[in-house]
Amino acid sequence: MTDRQAALRALAGELTDSEPITDAFLAKSFTDQLLVVDVRAGAELPAAVRDRLADRDLLPADSVYGADDARQSAVGDVGDATRHHFVDVRTRGSHRSYVVE
């Protein structure tokens, strides 16, 4: 595990202490590392959390991938939570996923 991954895992653990965050964890897309944050249904992601993530080079997925609403991080509901994706722009493109045929 790299120092960056360790720092992001620690951050994910700290985020779950914030109300209304119910879960936070690292995930990987094809080429990017993501920090996934679940927020209790009906609640908003606190601006302080969004700012904290931006300070650590974690930006809303839509702003990184060029979607219409560049500030959007929510990707949908999962159980009793709304899931948000943040892309680690510091390591963007350095992850590799392979498809085995």
Question: How many other CB atoms sit within 10 Å of the CB of residue 85?
Answer: 23
Question: How many other C-beta atoms are found inside a 10 Å radius of the C-beta of residue 63?
Answer: 17
| Token code pair at residue 74 | 């929510």
- pTM beyond 0.75: the answer is yes
- Per-residue pLDDT of the chain in tens (101 residues, 90 and over written 9): 789 999 999 999 999 999 999 999 999 887 889 999 999 999 999 999 999 999 999 999 988 887 665 556 778 889 999 999 999 999 866 655 555 55
